[in-house]
Structure formats: C-alpha cells, structure tokens
Structure 1
Amino acid sequence: MAIRLGNGCENCENLMENSTCKVHGVKVSSSYTCDSFEMKTALKDDRNCVTCLRYETSDCANPQKAAPQMLCSHWAPQNAMA
C-alpha cells in the first residue's frame, strides 16, 4: 500500500468550500483520496519547526536550535494520517 500524503482531498481542486467533492457529490474529510484526484496548482508549504510533530519534544533532532521558520531534514507533519 502506498502512502500518498499529497493526494488527500484537501489538496484536490475538486474540493468545494463546504467539504463536498464536486466530482462525486459527497462530503469528504482530509483522509479521503480517489482516482479522480486533481492536484491544486499551489499548496501551502509550511515546513518549519512550528508545524513539525517533533517540535519541543524529546524526539526533536535539534532541540537547542529549533525555532519558528527553521527548516531541517527531520521535519514530520503534525497532521499526517496513514
């Protein structure tokens, strides 16, 4: 099974403001994905310490340096679902 973080409904251009899919006509959540997925042309890119699951925890790779807007190779999204 492939993990497709970027292919959820929240990144699909078919998602309407009321969380309804305009292709399927049903309410969806952020964990949904489908074969009719169309990637939005722009994604919000908030990869920094504040949006990292490890920020201010014992798992942080750089606890003495971690700060808002800092980027590192150990970033883990806060809202990832598998």
Structure 2
Amino acid sequence: MSIRLGNSCINCENLLEGNTCKVHGVKVGNSYTCDSFEMKAALKDDTNCITCVRYESSDCANPQKAAPGMSCSHWAPQNATA
C-alpha cells in the first residue's frame, strides 16, 4: 500500500478556512480524503532542515551536517497544515 502525504484534505483545493470542506460542508482533518479530492496547484517549497521534524533530534540522519537551508533525503515535515 502506498502512503501519500499530499493526498489529504489539507492539500485539497476544496478546503476552506476553518478546515471545512466546500464540497461536503463538513469539518475535516489532515487524515481525511475523498473521491472529490483536488490537489492544490502548488505546495510550500520549504523542505530544509529547519522544517524537518527530525532536525536537532536523536533520529536525524546527519546530525553533524544539519543546518538551516540544507536538505537531505531523510526530510520529514514538521506539520502538514494548509
């Protein structure tokens, strides 16, 4: 089974302010998705050490090299909010 971070209501064009779906008219969260899902045209492009959940933690893959502005293949988002 594939895991897709971007395939949730948080990254859907139908998400309104207050986490309300404009298609279904209900409050949704970041684990929701549906058949009416429409991916936002662009996501934030700030994938670097500062926005990584592993930055300055014990599970950082490169603790001696991690620095602001740097990125690596082990990057994981701190949050997935719109």
The structure whose residues are more often strand, as a share, is 2
> C-alpha separation between the residues in 2 aligned to 1:31 and 1:21?
13
1:73 Cα deviation after fit: 1.0
Moved over 4 A (4+): none
SS at match of 1:10: helix
1:18 Cα deviation after fit: 2.2
1:36 Cα deviation after fit: 0.7
1:63 is aligned to 63
1:12-60 C-alpha deviation (Å, 9 max, x unpaired) = 0001112110111101111211111001111112211112121111221
CA RMSD, 1 decimal: 1.5
Q: Which amino acid aligns with 1:75?
A: W
1:32 is aligned to 32
The 5-angstrom pairing of residues 10-21 of structure 1 reads 10-21=10-21
Q: TM-score, normalised by structure 2?
A: 0.85
Q: How many residues align?
A: 80
Q: Which amino acid aligns with 2:30?
A: S
For structure 1, the residue ranges without an aligned partner over 5 or more in a row are: none
Q: Which amino acid aligns with 1:51?
A: T
> C-alpha separation between the residues in 2 aligned to 1:34 and 1:2?
16
1:71 Cα deviation after fit: 0.7
Q: Which amino acid aligns with 1:10?
A: I
1:49 is aligned to 49
1:67 Cα deviation after fit: 0.9
